[in-house]
Structure 1
């Protein structure tokens, strides 16, 4: 009896010691965290909400996603610390670091660090099948085109791309779900999407009506590649019911970002939750197929957070010291 009592007491002491050590290890962690995403109905919100909830559950802390204006605003929020984490594309990231983010012109947003690769954002165009718009050169002069939320990757780059291709349009902004409704109601003629695929709003649209998913011609694609920080991309035919074959496109890489001042062990733990089980991430969103260690080198713009860099370098990456914040 005495043996069991002593053993029980010892076990309790060990448990308390482990709990105390764990609490001490997390002493400098924030009480909660926010992930800046984009508008509802877009891939950022679906993907970001998923990994925010996953991290909160796995680490036993309060955290979640916040609807934002997208990559440009996320760079600003993470830079200032108003959001611990966010998501951005490489184009807006570069502009923000250079001080040309339209949210705060002149401010060099260099306190947002890379955390992990997400996926490529293809640029694609959708119109109602009944509109007769089945190619970029079929878009009529003055067409009302929805470019997503103001300041988003789509709103920043797609208007410039279409101008490069000679399209004359009336620019509209809004959340992806809202623009999908406007397209159905005839309030806009075209939606120019820049979002991870499948875009929830497009998937919803094609369930409710017939749509055209418009690809770039080879010549149009080449013009865009010469003018913008994008790469060749093909939207697989399996992405949407509407597609019968792959659609030619261009794409820009997305990365999750962290405020550079966050504790190294905290960001390491968050990165581990997201990156250690790709199947789990794929269940959140199919675009997470690209959320793998091998794509660490797609970031050529942002400094890496030391906690994230430590995890990646322990798991097969080779992030050079001069690409790590403070390195």
Structure 2
């Protein structure tokens, strides 16, 4: 196994609890992300490359079906790291994931908070659709990759709001192209903002970024595990004011069997320099130590990650919420 000649200073000083012995570290790693054109892929590729560079490891991102599949890949060890949304994560831990019904994915551990995933709706301006109520019966709505957070929750939300639709799946990039070509009518995004596919659409055509009404937002808040969110006006050139939305938190995850010293060093690389992360993706403005509590007991903490937040963020993580290695 090759060792890095130099460890980034912050990783060296992470904690006294984890020495610099890297003899049990894997020589390479994979970060399970999602489809190209979405925030997960852009964000995940960025932090995978950052960690690989700083820790002298071979690593990179893998295109996947999103949070549900990522839980399975990390649980089984097929991917060392991944990213998930707390709704699909809770279902996976309980053995209720549509990816593998009955399998309790308890070997995927919380590593660090990422950002909130807003749920937003986009249509071409030429369609005349400027509100949820404008979506015609039988509209073809793209919900992202099958099994993704968007595909899991957004159809249910639309049904709850009384929308009649035909369901379409695909990568965000593909769906953006289909919207522009008139093959679908609406895209229902659940992704960190700005969504690359939406930003690309804005350059190429006129779009409507559709917010929820106060009544629609209240209905969704009551029915789903989400929080209030506003997509700020400066997120997209199309927006002239903040857009009312709802959101769900995302966490990076690690296979629970990975060495504590390795996960501690990875977390230190990510959490010790937020400006570097924001340069990867603007959504990383929320990737800060004080958001450690957004896990809220959904996932067991990896001991290496838990130690970092205890030492550096004053986190009070109960011992029974830390995975025992």
TM class, shorter-chain normalised?
Answer: over 0.9
Q: How does 1:203-242 map to 2 (within 5 A)?
A: 203-242=199-238
Separation (CA, whole Å) in 2 of partners of 1:239 and 1:319:
34
Separation (CA, whole Å) in 1 of partners of 2:220 and 2:263:
36
2:153 pairs, out of 153, 157, 164, with 157
Q: CA RMSD in A?
A: 1.2
The alignment's TM-score, normalised by the length of structure 2, stands at: 0.93
Which residue of the partner structure matches residue 314 of structure 1? 311
Separation (CA, whole Å) in 2 of partners of 1:324 and 1:231:
26
Separation (CA, whole Å) in 1 of partners of 2:281 and 2:27:
27
Q: Which moved more, 1:88-97 or 1:24-33?
A: 24-33
Which residue of the partner structure matches residue 20 of structure 1? none
Please state whether the residue corresponding to 2:118 is helix, strand or coil. Answer: strand
Which residue of the partner structure matches residue 25 of structure 2? 29
Paired residues of 2:40 and 2:191 also in contact (CA < 8 A): yes
Separation (CA, whole Å) in 2 of partners of 1:155 and 1:192:
9
The Cα shift of 1:318 comes to 2.0
Q: How does 1:10-89 map to 2 (within 5 A)?
A: 25-89=21-85
The C-alpha deviation readout for 1:177-215, integer Å capped at 9, x for no partner, is 000000000000000000000000000000100000000
Separation (CA, whole Å) in 2 of partners of 1:286 and 1:70:
20
The alignment's TM-score, normalised by the length of structure 1, stands at: 0.92
Separation (CA, whole Å) in 2 of partners of 1:30 and 1:265:
12
2:184 pairs, out of 185, 188, 194, with 188
Which residue of the partner structure matches residue 278 of structure 2? 282
Separation (CA, whole Å) in 2 of partners of 1:313 and 1:102:
34
Report whether the alignment pairs 1:199 with 2:204: no
The C-alpha deviation readout for 1:154-199, integer Å capped at 9, x for no partner, is 0000000000000000000000000000000000000000000000
Please state whether the residue corresponding to 1:179 is helix, strand or coil. Answer: helix
The structure with the greater share of residues assigned to helix is: 1
The Cα shift of 1:319 comes to 1.8
The C-alpha deviation readout for 1:67-120, integer Å capped at 9, x for no partner, is 000000000000000000000000000000010111111000000000000000
Which residue of the partner structure matches residue 139 of structure 1? 135
Separation (CA, whole Å) in 2 of partners of 1:42 and 1:181:
13
Paired residues of 2:20 and 2:261 also in contact (CA < 8 A): no
The Cα shift of 1:320 comes to 2.0
Q: For structure 1, which runs of at least 5 residues remain unmatched after alignment?
A: 1-14, 16-22
Structure 1: 4+ residue segments shifted above 3 A: none
Larger Cα-atom Rg: 1
1:125 pairs, out of 115, 118, 121, with 121
Please state whether the residue corresponding to 2:194 is helix, strand or coil. Answer: coil
Please state whether the residue corresponding to 1:241 is helix, strand or coil. Answer: coil
The Cα shift of 1:24 comes to 8.0
